[in-house]
Chain A
Amino acid sequence: MRTGFLQAMPRRPTLAACFAGAILTAGAVSAQTPVSFSKDIQPIFEASCWKCHGQTIQLSKLDLRTRQGALTGGIHGPSLVPGNPDSSRLFRMVSGAEKPAMPMDGKLTPAEVETIRRWIVEGATWDAGSVQTSAVPKSPPSDLEAGGVAPEARKSWAYQLPVKRPVPGKGHPVDAFLGVKWKERGLDPAAQADKTTLVRRAYFDLIGMPPSPAQVAEFVNDSSPDAWQNLIEKLLASPHYGERWGRHWLDVARYADSNGYEHDFDRPNAWRYRDYVIQSFNVDKPYNVFLREQIAGDEIEHVTSDSLIATGFLRSYAKVGYREKDNPEFRYEYLDDMIATVGRGVLGLTVQCARCHNHKFDPIPQKDYYKLQASLWGYVEVDHPLTSPEQAAAYRKQLDEVNARVNEIRAQIRTVEQPYRAVILAERYKKFPANVQQAIATPEAERTPGQVLLANQVTRTVSAPPAEIDKIMKPEDLEEKKRLAAEVVEIEKQRPAPIPLAMGITDGDYRFTPDGPGDEPAPGKGIKREATEGSFLHEGPDRYSPPPSHFLIRGDVNSRGSVMQPGFLTVATFGEPPVALPPANGRTSGRRLALAEWLTSKENPLTARVIVNRIWHHHFGRGIVAAVDNFGKMGEVPTHPELLDWLAVEFMDKGWSFKQMHRLLMTSEAYKMSSQFTSAKNMQADPENKLGWRFRARRLDAEAVRDSILAVSGALNREIGGPAVFPKLEAEVLTQLTNGIWRREEDGPKVWRRSVYIYRKRSMPFPMLESFDLPDQNISCGVRAVSTVPTQALMLMNDEFVVRQAELFADRVRETQPDPSKRIDTAYKIALNRAPDAKERQIGEEYLRDHNLAGLVHVLLNLNEFLYLR
């Protein structure tokens, strides 16, 4: 894993940087010395120009390695006019006089620019015949980029296409496959659990909440042979099913509602992706379609609002979101996050390990990583309008008009303010230390180099607040300003109401990304590229082509190798699937669509296996491959490889349907087994129950704990979807909030929503969920941890939320059961779906003699039986 990505290091190699410093120091002396190409210019070219205009590649067909190459120039014409810097494109672009400013990924120092100017004035001579070889990257990229996949590596089970072998024996396929292993190992399978346990299990499993007493009774009293199937159908049809199973996918998608890092900006539209996931599960969207929309929802044949929202999947990475264009290397991190998420989430492989070197354990050459990176490289962040294109265009037009008029009047306001601004600034400068004031007071030409720095620091960054300007304005000017300001207010009234937006991605040219909030570079720092300089989103009429991406030697952003073509993991590719499927409109490259097609192809050996294994994991508590995110060598081999394959093929054959798979797995005898069965023989042979000889009891996950409390208390607000909610947090907890948002909402029905709707703040996970092992929101997670710690006990015993819900639960019991002597029974039935036994009833009655019902039901919410799925 690489860690050095945000280093505050010079963006160019040190050699050039030191060299620039030397020029600066030499100052006036060197003005007399002629500029030498080999000593002065070559290091600059080597560091900043030859990466793209050298041996490896010649962008715009410009080759700057030789004088002739520079004189001839590229597709935009000659780059060098000896003796005339102002006519030389090379100088104009590095000095910023012509756009786009060069180099693309940085900026030359003023000293470097000056050196180039003087070199051109002096005739732009090339004194070095030695340039050709020393000019190229230190080692030929071909060596560093080598790495293939040996034929034997493809023989591992995970890279072979799954095959549906005959079911070994009669009965349910799942039981038949499991039965083989039981027999082999001499294991006795557990008997079926009782109906009450089963109905509770099915509810938790499919909708994440316990059934009501009436729902239990309905199932228990249904003696028809279809009772179980009917129950499953009913639950699969429930809108709460998507909330439960969508949550599993959101873990994989590392979904959150905020950016993370220092500013942790709000993502006001992120929830639409969360709702998209929930809805997709509810409508049983085939997994191949689901994936295609999330990876290429903007490129598929029938683009819909949903498919645009779906592209939020790739954009769900934690983001620095601050002076992004000062730090272009951040983009590599976001791409890495996408590759890691698709890798472990969809393919079950640690593809991101191949970023800096060939994968140490799995047959993934580094080149495959960069092929995948090239497949994603064209991506840019966009907020897709969720209206018709006409509405969106009308909105954009109206918005532009309003902005143009507002800007025009603001400029007038600034003109009126100008004389006063100067006065205020002079006043403000006086607040700075004496050395600064002195530097500013010194005429520019007479400032020492140090004074130049001191003065610049202040004069370039200090501004005059309008309120202060107002105070000193002449009445007539102030009147004029107010009049203009009133005009702005009038114009603002025409600002169109925002249209709904989806936070997603599409293809474009990231180098021309318009500034977002917080993206403004610090004054004098970084490269601010306006959208007008180039095309952020491709408008045509020609076809879009993505900016070039490169193999990065040792993963180092500054060590570019070959330009990469898109592609996939060699070891998991059969035949030669297309690497780009450009859509008819020509606006995107179609590389992501090709990636999605490869992922969802029946010839992809991993995708179906990985997802059926995830489904299995959630039903049975342990995957057939226990390491659900890692099908590579460092993961674990499947306990039942034939079953996994059978299920994978069955899944694809039945239309990649989740609901079909639930039906299949849940109707097996294995699923219906008791979790409390034990046998010395079994414990001896398979103590970890890897072979599923009994049902695996397990603690509810974080959301299910909170949701069940709300369901049992009767307070649950069952509203589906919409913007996130902010359950009340103690003031002390809120002191941990350093940035971003947390709305202060009262404890009440508005926030008593299911936990999947709680605002997922990257820098501050919701405490109750966090203490019950909410996974880190910044990394894709397939298996949640289960820990047992005193803070969970403190929370369930003492937290105001839980105590209050217990009181509401007691109210509910009293309301539904007028007979006080039967209230213990009622409470048990609501919380645990069963009546208490005689001893429990007696203990409860004893307790109620001195204590209230709220106390008793509070205890029920803390019972192991309440917190465990059995």
Chain B
Amino acid sequence: MAEFSSRRKFLFESCGGVSGLGLAWLLNADNLLASGCADKAPGAVMSAKKPHIAPRAKSVISLFMSGGVSHVDTFDPKPALSKFAGTPLTGKGDIVVRQGHPGPLMPSPFTFKKYGQSGIEVSELFPRTAAHVDEMAVLRSVFSKSNDHVQAHYALATGMIRMGFPSVGSWVTYGLGAETQNLPAFVVIYDGRGAPFGGPINWSAGFMPAQYQGTVFRPSGAPIVDLRPPQRITPEEQRARLDLLEKLNRMDLEKDPNNSELAARIESYELAYRMQGCAPEVVDLNTESPETRKLYGLDEQVTEPFGRQCLMARRLVERGVRFVQLYHGGLGNQNTDTWDAHENVHSNHTKHAAEVDQPISGLLTDLRARGLLDSTLVVWHGEFGRMPISQRGVGRDHNPGAMSIWMAGAGIKGGQVIGASDEFGYKAEEQPISVHDLHATILHLLGLDHTRLTYRFNGRDMRLTDVYGEPVKQIVS
């Protein structure tokens, strides 16, 4: 009981910053709070897991560009596309397009330029983000499994293209626990225009208990569904109900004082009450200085929405949230509200890059300035790349064969390009990196060995990386 009361004390510490509860508590709480679907009796499923190796980061901010960013127009320059412009792509086998018929090779409508000391080439779409290349590892040989938006989303989110598996955020939360009890450990903020392809399955806990699923934060208003009671219940009334509830529940607990599950449920109400206070505080960006707001592009209409998402991500990470998943692009209108540039890669990508360039640059600058970049892994990616050939003249179709992603923070070695796609950017060629490799790398940076992070489900030790994956070792300095 001593431990129990000290935990209670912690709960009443302030919102700001990481509360003192820390990892040990959560791991302990795992045992208290959960038991699993499947194999074992309640209470026996979850076992505490310390990081397997020295972690480089403790939080992740994933920037998911939904709809599929064209690598050959952003982080993977392909001069050969100009040279062979207008001719068919040959010698690569069947050209599998998602829609209609393949077109001829199409040069990028954007110009590329060298940035930073490293001189990594980035297109004119990302001048501000590119200013950070010396802190980024650009992976140009990532490939995925499906040219279908939803399945490709699931692949990035869960490692599987089928439904029913836990997302990366769930695995990370399961492996490391949370650093704060005031906020959910795994937070998702999607585009105000709509949810990403595939919807909530992207942040589901699959076969794991509900506590590992992502919690959606809305960028404005009450950030979490049911965070506040209906208006007819005043704060005083709510507090009175909670007090009455606690009083009656504690009397009940006396009948079965060793029942940790009942004790945990009593606490969950206090946690919820804390969250009710802390969650709005996180999304209230008015406390940020005008300079910071400007840094994230909150002063511009175009950059304001994603700027808010990025600034909220920093605030969440600062307060101990383990995994923040941002989506840019939502359904809405698939053609105009996501990166899905079937019609016109120039207009689509110009629009979307303009929405994210300043916010992403601001996020990296701000994280660095606050000393958070070393402990935070920032990953930027879409669900697949796009075709080097045109679609109906000036668009590009889906291409899971090659995509570019970048990572920054978490002590990774910046200013390096890892892997390469073929001369046209059609397939990953040099050091191909699968989605499983990517996930293994993310876990590795968090101190988790992807082969040892397992969850027993239906008689099998399941892994985020299934039976595949290898961390990209050269990513760390």
In the complex, what's the smallest C-beta–C-beta distance from A637 to chain B, in angstroms?
13
In the complex, what's the smallest C-beta–C-beta distance from A622 to chain B, in angstroms?
5
**In the assembled complex, A432 has its CB within 8 A of some CB on chain B:** yes
**In the assembled complex, A737 has its CB within 8 A of some CB on chain B:** yes
**In the assembled complex, A129 has its CB within 8 A of some CB on chain B:** no
A251's nearest neighbour on chain B, judged by CB, is B37
Cα distance A180–B27 in the bound complex, in angstroms: 37
**In the assembled complex, A474 has its CB within 8 A of some CB on chain B:** no
The B-contacting residues of A in range 492-547, CB under 8 angstroms, are 522-525
- Of B32, B41, B398, which one neighbours A688 at CB under 8 angstroms? B41
**In the assembled complex, A475 has its CB within 8 A of some CB on chain B:** no
Chain B residues, CB < 8 A from A839 = 251
Evaluate contact between B103 and A457: CB separation under 8 angstroms: yes
B224's nearest neighbour on chain A, judged by CB, is A794
A353's nearest neighbour on chain B, judged by CB, is B460
Evaluate contact between A629 and B237: CB separation under 8 angstroms: no
Evaluate contact between B90 and A676: CB separation under 8 angstroms: no
- Of B87, B194, B393, which one neighbours A449 at CB under 8 angstroms? B87
Evaluate contact between B241 and A629: CB separation under 8 angstroms: no
Chain B residues, CB < 8 A from A865 = 252
Evaluate contact between B199 and A773: CB separation under 8 angstroms: no
**In the assembled complex, A391 has its CB within 8 A of some CB on chain B:** no
In the complex, what's the smallest C-beta–C-beta distance from A24 to chain B, in angstroms?
5
**In the assembled complex, A730 has its CB within 8 A of some CB on chain B:** yes
In the complex, what's the smallest C-beta–C-beta distance from A703 to chain B, in angstroms?
15
A348's nearest neighbour on chain B, judged by CB, is B459
| In the complex, per-residue mask of B20-44: 1 if CB is within 8 Å of any chain A CB, else 0 | 0000000000001111111111111
| In the complex, per-residue mask of B150-191: 1 if CB is within 8 Å of any chain A CB, else 0 | 110000000111111000000000000000000010000000
Chain A residues, CB < 8 A from B262 = 864, 868
- Of A738, A785, A791, A798, which one neighbours B197 at CB under 8 angstroms? A738
Evaluate contact between B200 and A736: CB separation under 8 angstroms: yes
Evaluate contact between A458 and B392: CB separation under 8 angstroms: yes
Chain A residues, CB < 8 A from B280 = none
A763's nearest neighbour on chain B, judged by CB, is B199
B203's nearest neighbour on chain A, judged by CB, is A736
**In the assembled complex, B53 has its CB within 8 A of some CB on chain A:** no
Interface-lining segment among B54-62, B132-140, B267-275, B290-298: B267-275
B91's nearest neighbour on chain A, judged by CB, is A21
Cα distance A523–B97 in the bound complex, in angstroms: 12
The B-contacting residues of A in range 763-790, CB under 8 angstroms, are 763-765, 767, 770-773, 775-776, 778-779, 781-790
Evaluate contact between B244 and A730: CB separation under 8 angstroms: no
Evaluate contact between A699 and B160: CB separation under 8 angstroms: no
Evaluate contact between A629 and B268: CB separation under 8 angstroms: no
**In the assembled complex, B9 has its CB within 8 A of some CB on chain A:** no
| In the complex, per-residue mask of A634-677: 1 if CB is within 8 Å of any chain B CB, else 0 | 11100000000000000000000000000000000000000110
Interface-lining segment among B253-261, B364-372, B414-422, B445-453: B253-261
Chain B residues, CB < 8 A from A776 = 163-164, 204, 206-207
Cα distance A441–B292 in the bound complex, in angstroms: 54
Chain A residues, CB < 8 A from B164 = 318, 776, 778-779
- Of A262, A622, A676, A737, which one neighbours B41 at CB under 8 angstroms? A622
The B-contacting residues of A in range 792-832, CB under 8 angstroms, are 792-795, 797-800, 803
Chain A residues, CB < 8 A from B259 = 697
Evaluate contact between A732 and B218: CB separation under 8 angstroms: yes
Chain B residues, CB < 8 A from A7 = 145-146
A350's nearest neighbour on chain B, judged by CB, is B459
Interface-lining segment among B68-76, B226-234, B317-325, B353-361: B226-234
| In the complex, per-residue mask of B213-225: 1 if CB is within 8 Å of any chain A CB, else 0 | 1011010010011
In the complex, what's the smallest C-beta–C-beta distance from B444 to chain A, in angstroms?
20
| In the complex, per-residue mask of B71-104: 1 if CB is within 8 Å of any chain A CB, else 0 | 0000000000000001110111110111111111
Evaluate contact between B245 and A859: CB separation under 8 angstroms: yes
**Residue among B44, B163, B458 with the most chain A CB within 10 A?**
B458
Evaluate contact between B37 and A790: CB separation under 8 angstroms: no
Chain B residues, CB < 8 A from A859 = 241, 244-245, 248
In the complex, what's the smallest C-beta–C-beta distance from B42 to chain A, in angstroms?
6
In the complex, what's the smallest C-beta–C-beta distance from B296 to chain A, in angstroms?
23
Evaluate contact between B42 and A698: CB separation under 8 angstroms: yes
In the complex, what's the smallest C-beta–C-beta distance from B177 to chain A, in angstroms?
13
Chain B, interface SS category: loop
Contacts A770-B210, A867-B265 given; indicate if A787 touches B272 (C-beta within 8 A). no
Evaluate contact between A20 and B392: CB separation under 8 angstroms: no
**In the assembled complex, A132 has its CB within 8 A of some CB on chain B:** no
Cα distance A167–B264 in the bound complex, in angstroms: 41
Evaluate contact between B226 and A456: CB separation under 8 angstroms: no
Contacts A793-B268, A797-B241 given; indicate if A676 touches B255 (C-beta within 8 A). yes
Cα distance A697–B43 in the bound complex, in angstroms: 13
| In the complex, per-residue mask of B432-476: 1 if CB is within 8 Å of any chain A CB, else 0 | 000000000000000000000000001110000011100000000
Chain B residues, CB < 8 A from A792 = 268
| In the complex, per-residue mask of A719-731: 1 if CB is within 8 Å of any chain B CB, else 0 | 0000000000010
Contacts A843-B248, A863-B252 given; indicate if A798 touches B100 (C-beta within 8 A). no
Evaluate contact between A850 and B240: CB separation under 8 angstroms: yes
In the complex, what's the smallest C-beta–C-beta distance from A557 to chain B, in angstroms?
14
**In the assembled complex, A847 has its CB within 8 A of some CB on chain B:** yes
In the complex, what's the smallest C-beta–C-beta distance from B63 to chain A, in angstroms?
20
**In the assembled complex, A448 has its CB within 8 A of some CB on chain B:** yes
**In the assembled complex, B111 has its CB within 8 A of some CB on chain A:** no
**In the assembled complex, B149 has its CB within 8 A of some CB on chain A:** yes
**In the assembled complex, B129 has its CB within 8 A of some CB on chain A:** no
The A-contacting residues of B in range 366-420, CB under 8 angstroms, are 389-394, 398, 400-401
**In the assembled complex, A592 has its CB within 8 A of some CB on chain B:** no
- Of A737, A799, A800, A840, which one neighbours B248 at CB under 8 angstroms? A840
Cα distance A771–B43 in the bound complex, in angstroms: 19
Evaluate contact between B43 and A436: CB separation under 8 angstroms: no
**In the assembled complex, B350 has its CB within 8 A of some CB on chain A:** no
- Of A22, A785, A799, A851, which one neighbours B210 at CB under 8 angstroms? A785
**In the assembled complex, B122 has its CB within 8 A of some CB on chain A:** no
Evaluate contact between A791 and B215: CB separation under 8 angstroms: yes
**In the assembled complex, B303 has its CB within 8 A of some CB on chain A:** no
**In the assembled complex, B336 has its CB within 8 A of some CB on chain A:** no
Evaluate contact between B459 and A632: CB separation under 8 angstroms: yes
Chain B residues, CB < 8 A from A146 = none
**In the assembled complex, B148 has its CB within 8 A of some CB on chain A:** yes
**In the assembled complex, B19 has its CB within 8 A of some CB on chain A:** no
**Residue among B99, B194, B245 with the most chain A CB within 10 A?**
B245
In the complex, what's the smallest C-beta–C-beta distance from A301 to chain B, in angstroms?
35
Chain A residues, CB < 8 A from B431 = none
B154's nearest neighbour on chain A, judged by CB, is A261
Q: Would you mind naming 8 contact pairs between A and B with Cβ atoms under 8 Å apart?
A: A6-B148, A8-B148, A17-B94, A21-B92, A25-B91, A451-B86, A736-B199, A792-B268
Binding site for A on B (CB under 8 A): 32-44, 86-88, 90-94, 96-105, 145-151, 159-164, 184, 194-201, 204, 206-211, 213, 215-216, 218, 221, 224-230, 232-233, 237-238, 240-242, 244-245, 247-249, 251-253, 255-256, 258-259, 261-262, 264-266, 268-269, 271-272, 275-276, 331, 389-394, 398, 400-401, 458-460, 466-468
What are the 6 closest A-B residue pairs judged by CB atoms, nearest first? A17-B93, A450-B104, A433-B393, A630-B459, A793-B272, A634-B459
